[in-house]
Structure 1
Amino acid sequence: MATMSGASDAMPAAAAPQVDDVARWRRNLVVLILLTGGVKSTLAFTAVVPGLQLIAAEFHSAADSILSAQFVITLAPIGMALAGLIAGLFVRTSNLRGTMFVALGVSTIAGLMPLVIHNYTLLLITRFILGFSAVVADVAMTSVLAAYFTGGLRSKLIGFRQSISHISTVITMLASGWLAQHYGWRASSLLFVIPGILLLLAFVAFDRPISKERQEQAQDGPQVSLVQLLPLLLLSLIMALGHAMPHYQMPFLLKENGITDAELVSYVPALSAGVSILSALVFGFVYSRFGFATLVAASTLMGIGFIGSGLATSYEMILFFIVIEGVGAGWTMPFFLSRILDRVTTAQRNHAVGLTLASLFIGQFMNPFVTKPIRDAFGLHATFVVMGVGLILITGILGLIVIVRAKAKERALAAA
């Protein structure tokens, strides 16, 4: 395989790729697989959401058919969160390729199972397995990406990967809705042939084990305790909690503003996702130049977007502030993956990536529970304002950290 590397966080330009005797088409195929690997995780949601009403109708004998249908969604992210916490037990530097193959295969089979399973309990079990295996595959594929790319180039690819995940969410949601409408909710599971195709391509692209030497070459930082990563993991959880606002809370904010047209409501999260796609595409460029300050900018933009949306009096104003929010949202998830990978060694990488993904999933899951007491006490408009103010406060703290670090670095250089 070709060794491709970029600049470290302190270097603005990416180093030129080192090319060996591997064919270019195989290297391009590796990049394609790594960039599109997140599609399987989006399918865990998009393959069932459009058919929720049909799922509720099929399992109408349950005590609460709506809740039963919602459990079908919920079991996948529960599996995802658990997998993130313990993925390091499965994904090791010695078995990256094999784990990636197995996890892709299991997620493909589990995703296709609704085509043949008609028992509700078995359906829930396969959904849990799907979420678990999808994240194990994500951890393995992210570790593979970190083994082949470093620094600025790796950050750019992580940003591209996030953009492709956002795009696949829109496309697969539409495809799933069409399949469910014409052929029933089970037909949407056919979309899981996509990770199956990725698996077949992976067999071709990764024709040899990923050597320990290659992974150690991609090691960027000194040995750190995973406890030292807790501040970053906590920040990722908080930012993910805010990241979920346009999707979890915005439809209800629009309703309070008298906007109930389903088409108009759908435009808002779609606009946030669309702007996030474009924002994530330039993440590597921004991160390679500003480093930790990227999170300061992202938190500021999201905070302004939420405060503005909470105070907005018209639909057009909400759209304007959602654009601002979307720019910051597009940088959050790539930032934490890039930052964690920049700070850990090869041996720590799998545990750290898993914990990062778990914190992001848990943050999104916690959004309804964290916002409910604020909404009950002050109303939904105030909830957006409070969330925005909270992000701005975080920005202030992060800004101080950046300034202190910059001054310490200047003093160290002056002393040298």
Structure 2
Amino acid sequence: MFNRSFWRKLTLLLSSMMTMMAGAVVAPALPQMNRVFVEVPMADVLTRLIITLPALFIAFISPLAGYITDTFGRKKLLLFSLVIYFVGGTSGYYLDSLYLILVGRAVLGIAVAGIMTTVTTLIGDYYQGEERNAFMGMQGAFMGLGGVFFIFFSGILADINWQLPFTIYGFSVPVFVMALVFILEPRITSAGSQHAVSVTEYDKKTVFALYVIVFLAIVCFYMVPVQLPFLLSTMEGVNNTITGMTISISTLFGAIISMMYRRIKRRFSFKTIYMFAFLLMGIGFFAISYAQDYKFVMLSMIISGLGTGLLMPTGNLWLMKLAPESLRGRLIGRLSTSMFIGMFVSPLLVQPLVDRFEIGGAFFVGSIFLFLLTLVFFFWSLKESFQNDR
């Protein structure tokens, strides 16, 4: 039976999954790539940029993508972005120069900016209220489950050849076909509609605070795909497959809690959910800092993954609630900018900690920072409760 609504949802979910896997999917191959390009100046830094460089271009392009989305429509930008996602993503498979691979990663970043902005905007256009909450939870679950499959599969491919994980980006081809067939350009509600929010009504201070929160959260979150493979490579019995499996465990448990997001949101505010997310991530990072074998790291990833599974739906839903419909694309584009600047600068901010304290010590410092964020949201939630009781 043909059901356009089902296939439209599936297209949006698969597109969402592609944005979060964009950088991390080749993470299991990083140590091997570092050895292949050992003669290249600053190879240690440049190989890590293979994961994070897309984020820099996402950050720069996302505001423009938001403007294009609001001005010229959602579908055209989504289709164009899926095409260049394939071109930039798969380039690492047939390129043998580290510098050219980095150029391909920049192209990939431009594509992800367009996909993430249009997809999140379309979700805000198509769905409201409880249906939107449920869909955002499902989106987080798809991102997590996609990470489980693609990162684990990437580890297997990396044990065969370091370039094979780049073929995974070919997944964009069937998604392009689905978007072409099932995505319809939505009608934007006029300012006079009962569902519209006046441009002057949204809380600019809270929106700015949300951008900062997302930036800080992603700086910590991206320590896992960037730094963890190198920590695991020092442990006995670890190969690329085990590295991929360890990282994917985090995304698996993130997917599980994302599927429960609608029920969680019914009971807790956005601030309280963020408090729990940072607490769980902090506990996981603290445990990683004392890990002596990969099995203990896997256990730590379960705890951390439960926290990271709450991050994406909370940030997106909170902004959708605050954003006027006529500015939704632009504000979501800026949220993407905050997120992906965090991804790009994560290794740059963390590397001095790694140099001074080694990777385990860097995760310890990260855990302390996450516990501080937990306290910030605890007191913010407490203040909100007192105000509501008056």
Say whether the fold is shared (TM-score over 0.5): yes
Give the one of 310, 317, 327 matched to 1:331. 310
Q: Is the 8 A contact 2:55 2:343 kept in 1?
A: no
Q: Is the 8 A contact 1:90 1:99 kept in 2?
A: yes
Shift of 1:99: 2.0
**Higher RCO, 1 vs 2 (CA within 8 Å, ≥6 residues apart):** 2
Shift of 1:96: 1.6
Shift of 1:276: 1.3
Residue 129 of structure 1 pairs with residue 96 of structure 2: no
Give the one of 169, 186, 189 matched to 1:210. 186
Structure 2 match to 1:246: 224
Structure 2 match to 1:200: 177
Q: Distance in 2 between matches of 1:400 and 1:200?
A: 48
Structure 2 match to 1:389: 368
Q: Is the 8 A contact 1:150 1:220 kept in 2?
A: no
Q: Distance in 2 between matches of 1:305 and 1:121?
A: 35
Structure 1 residues 245 and 115, CA gap change in structure 2 (3 angstroms) = closer
Structure 1 match to 2:212: 234
- Residue 201 of structure 2 aligns to a residue whose secondary structure is coil
Residue 169 of structure 1 pairs with residue 147 of structure 2: yes
Counterpart amino acid of residue 307 in structure 1:
F
Shift of 1:145: 0.7
Q: Is the 8 A contact 2:31 2:230 kept in 1?
A: no
Counterpart amino acid of residue 212 in structure 1:
I
- Deviations along 1:276-307, one digit per CA (max 9) or x if unpaired, are 12122212221232122111111112222222
Q: Distance in 2 between matches of 1:289 and 1:253?
A: 38
- Deviations along 1:64-122, one digit per CA (max 9) or x if unpaired, are 67766655555423222222243323221651222222222332344455677788766
- Pairs within 5 Å for 1:3-402: 25-42=3-20, 44-45=22-23, 72-92=50-70, 94-112=72-90, 124-175=102-153, 185=163, 190-207=167-184, 209-213=185-189, 219=196, 223-224=201-202, 226=204, 228-251=206-229, 259=236, 261-262=238-239, 266-292=244-270, 293-311=272-290, 318-378=297-357, 380-402=359-381
Counterpart amino acid of residue 213 in structure 1:
T
Shift of 1:26: 0.7
- Deviations along 1:111-155, one digit per CA (max 9) or x if unpaired, are 455677788766544432221122212101110111111233212
Q: Distance in 1 between matches of 2:292 and 2:91?
A: 47
Q: Is the 8 A contact 2:126 2:186 kept in 1?
A: no
Q: Is the 8 A contact 2:28 2:151 kept in 1?
A: yes
Structure 1 residues 311 and 52, CA gap change in structure 2 (3 angstroms) = closer
Q: Is the 8 A contact 1:115 1:189 kept in 2?
A: yes
Q: Is the 8 A contact 2:83 2:176 kept in 1?
A: yes
Q: Distance in 1 between matches of 2:41 and 2:157?
A: 28
Structure 1 residues 316 and 235, CA gap change in structure 2 (3 angstroms) = same
Q: Distance in 1 between matches of 2:112 and 2:34?
A: 25
Shift of 1:398: 1.2
- Residue 347 of structure 2 aligns to a residue whose secondary structure is helix
Structure 2 match to 1:4: none
Q: Distance in 2 between matches of 1:252 and 1:365?
A: 18
Counterpart amino acid of residue 340 in structure 2:
F
Q: Is the 8 A contact 2:214 2:315 kept in 1?
A: yes
- Deviations along 1:164-212, one digit per CA (max 9) or x if unpaired, are 1222233334555666777883x655544432322222222135x3112
Shift of 1:345: 0.7
Q: Is the 8 A contact 1:149 1:218 kept in 2?
A: no
Counterpart amino acid of residue 312 in structure 2:
M
Q: Is the 8 A contact 2:280 2:303 kept in 1?
A: yes
- Residue 189 of structure 2 aligns to a residue whose secondary structure is helix
Q: Is the 8 A contact 1:150 1:218 kept in 2?
A: no
| Residue segments in structure 2 that go unaligned for 5+ positions in a row | none
- Deviations along 1:44-67, one digit per CA (max 9) or x if unpaired, are 336655666887899899656776
Instruction: Report which stretch shifted further, 54-63 or 221-230.
Output: 54-63
Length, aligned pairs only: 386
- Residue 237 of structure 1 aligns to a residue whose secondary structure is helix
Structure 1 residues 51 and 308, CA gap change in structure 2 (3 angstroms) = closer
Larger radius of gyration: 1
Counterpart amino acid of residue 41 in structure 1:
T
- Residue 213 of structure 1 aligns to a residue whose secondary structure is coil
| RMSD between aligned residues | 3.7
Q: Distance in 2 between matches of 1:329 and 1:340?
A: 18
Structure 1 residues 130 and 370, CA gap change in structure 2 (3 angstroms) = closer
- How high is the sequence identity, in percent, across the aligned residues? 20
